[in-house]
Chain A
Amino acid sequence: MTAAPASGPAEATTTPTHDCRVAFAATLLDLAAADPRVVAVCNDSVGSSGLGEFAARHPDRLVNVGIAEQAMVGVGAGLAGGGRIPFVCAASPFLTGRALEQIKADVAYSRANVKLCGMSPGLAYGALGPTHHSIEDLAWLRALADLTVVVPADPAETAEAVRWAHAHDGPVFLRVGRTPVPALTPHVPFAPGRAAVLRRGEDVTLVGVGTTVSLLTEAADRLALRGVSARVLNMSTVSPLDERAVREAAEDTRGIVTVEEHTVRGGLGGAVAEAVVTHRPVPMRILGVPGVFAPTGDPRFLREHFRITAAAAERAALDLLGRAP
């Protein structure tokens, strides 16, 4: 099953897109220059975490523990216990899967001032396969108390989220995408725990995180042409969830579509559904990886294969409203 591409090739080439790791790395460098407490901890991921320049400028403040994720997270917690602000950077599947208990006990439960940076999440590693896909991380991490889970959607929001994480005294997980994304319009400044409204609408609500948010603004613009008014929420803080924004969406519109580069089990859709059924049940459609391990394919192919697209979001919204596609 292959859906139509989200946008034509011409459009894709005219909209500039960005790897959010670039904004992440630049912001971390700025913070490190201004604040000697900032350290980076990684698992032989200097390049893939965008830490090359950090290593060059602050070699003493880059702790590369080698390929050892459990020790990496524990070392981060110990550095935080020594008054440092560690940004613990690793590919998201290994950071979250391999070191989940360290994230739970050493960071969240101990309320250590550690900033966990899950790089290249979702389907970013494409053809490298399900071992390298990180489509369970949000489900795993939002189950943990006292851990703020943030998924920035574009470079500007990434930079703002990194600055906020640095200033915030407490455990944070940042999901930093490598899949190129366009700059969002309008730009709504990152506010922790608050969903950003990117399109106002009364018929249906589209909720996304990270790489899917730009797909939803595109879907909303297409729905508008068909007379459907779609609200778009960038739910950049997945935990704790902005329940008020979800409740308002359930009260103001006839249903909610969530789209995430993550399994449909327990991620953004699950979080929104929990709030919806608790506060005001309305129909939902949850789009994402449908509880399977992905076949071989590049990220773009996989997103289309799993209908993580603007067109699929548009169809789901119409279906939810009882309208013909």
Chain B
Amino acid sequence: MTLRPVPGGARHLRELRRSLTEAPEAERRSRLAGIAAAIRRRNLAMILRAGMGHVGGDFSAVDILTVLYLLVLDCDPERPRDPERDRFIQSKGHGSGALYATLSYAGFFADAELDTYMAPLSPLGGHPDCRKVPGVETNTGPLGHGLPFAVGAALAARLDGSPRRTFVLTGDGELQEGSNWEAALAAAHHRLDSLTVVVDRNGLQQGARTEDTSGLEPLSAKWEAFGFTVRAVDGHDHEALRRELSAPPPPGRPRCLIAATHKGHGVSFMADRVEWHHRVPTAEEARRAMEELQR
């Protein structure tokens, strides 16, 4: 690992989690909205500095990542390889900007490191490298790799008799990769109820809408047919995400949360527009985007 955890980061994350958990719902909502907006601003600044990135997919996932790292995952930024950690695998590796900004916010490495995003020799490449970035479990980037890994991670937990959980975040377009469905069969066959798949269902892939490319609907019925317990959730509603992700899954079945999201969420002129898959804002667009993200 070339990146080091923020000193005192574990304690800070624990206290932040406790205070958020204990706060009244309205306060928690407000604070989480502020945190997610800060992560988006940092994420956008990284992209502007790098002159590259996948802002659309980053922003559709930021709220899911925020809730996972700040409220759900049993993880310790100062002991990122703790064997008993919950596993989180971001299968949509191109959403690295959102992942790095969230990991840094959670204390896995210093904020200043984000300024090297995609710069020559930076550990923070365009797709995450588990050998360089603490908190990253496996290398993703090619699509359809996260769920098979997560099935193996959940099987290992069962063999250990461990209560640790496994979460995997997939894009929706990447569900066109057949490897996901191979793994879905195996997950249900092995009754992996410690496994949760979160689908970032923003409806857009690189070139067009998923439904105009190779349609996924009825998506919920597909996961159900594959043996998953399926839940729909608003992927930008922190409280709803917290409830769904924290709830113990029904025994005997893996779980799929279909998170309704908007690509480019948080910036009005990016939201739900396919060209923002990997467009980099102009200076004027960046100014307007930052303004909107100030709330």
A76 to B83, CA, bound (A): 17
Give the size category of A's interface with B: 20 to 34
Q: Is the CB of B142 within 8 A of A101?
A: yes
Given contacts A65-B186, A75-B155, A78-B155, contact A83 B149 (CB under 8 A): no
Q: Is the CB of B153 within 8 A of A102?
A: no
A78 to B148, CA, bound (A): 7
Q: Is the CB of A75 within 8 A of B139?
A: no
Give the contact stretch, choosing among A66-74, A219-227, A258-266. Answer: A66-74
- Write the chain B residue with the least CB distance to A114: B152
* CB-defined contacts of A164 to chain B, threshold 8 Å: none
Given contacts A71-B183, A82-B156, A101-B142, contact A106 B131 (CB under 8 A): no
- Which residues of B are in contact with A by a Cβ distance under 8 Å? 83, 87, 129-131, 137-142, 144-145, 147-157, 159-160, 178-179, 182-183, 185-186, 189-190
Q: Is the CB of A70 within 8 A of B148?
A: yes
| Contacts A/B (CB < 8 Å), 14 sampled | A71-B185, A75-B148, A75-B149, A75-B155, A78-B149, A78-B152, A79-B153, A79-B156, A81-B149, A81-B156, A82-B83, A84-B156, A110-B131, A111-B131
- Which residues of A are in contact with B by a Cβ distance under 8 Å? 39, 41, 60-61, 63, 65-66, 68, 70-84, 86, 101-102, 105-106, 109-112
Chain A binding surface SS class: helix
Q: Is the CB of B178 within 8 A of A82?
A: no
Choose among B138, B157, B183 the residue that contacts A110 (Cβ–Cβ < 8 A): B138
Which one of B129, B141, B142, B182 has the highest number of Cβ atoms from chain A below 10 Å of its Cβ? B182
* CB-defined contacts of B151 to chain A, threshold 8 Å: 65, 71, 74-75, 78
Chain B binding surface SS class: helix
Choose among A66, A78, A101, A110 the residue that contacts B150 (Cβ–Cβ < 8 A): A78
Q: Is the CB of A79 within 8 A of B185?
A: no
Q: For the complex formed, measure the closest distance between the CB of A90 and the CB atoms of chain B, giving whole angstroms.
A: 13
* CB-defined contacts of B147 to chain A, threshold 8 Å: 71, 74
- Write the chain B residue with the least CB distance to A41: B152
Given contacts A70-B144, A81-B87, contact A106 B149 (CB under 8 A): yes
Q: Is the CB of B182 within 8 A of A70?
A: yes
* CB-defined contacts of B142 to chain A, threshold 8 Å: 101, 105
- Write the chain A residue with the least CB distance to B151: A75
A66 to B144, CA, bound (A): 17
Q: For the complex formed, measure the closest distance between the CB of A137 and the CB atoms of chain B, giving whole angstroms.
A: 20
Q: For the complex formed, measure the closest distance between the CB of A95 and the CB atoms of chain B, giving whole angstroms.
A: 14
- Write the chain A residue with the least CB distance to B158: A60
Given contacts A66-B185, A105-B142, A105-B145, contact A74 B137 (CB under 8 A): no
Q: For the complex formed, measure the closest distance between the CB of B245 and the CB atoms of chain A, giving whole angstroms.
A: 20
A167 to B160, CA, bound (A): 20
Q: Is the CB of B139 within 8 A of A110?
A: yes
A207 to B153, CA, bound (A): 41
Q: Is the CB of A77 within 8 A of B182?
A: no
Q: Is the CB of A71 within 8 A of B186?
A: yes
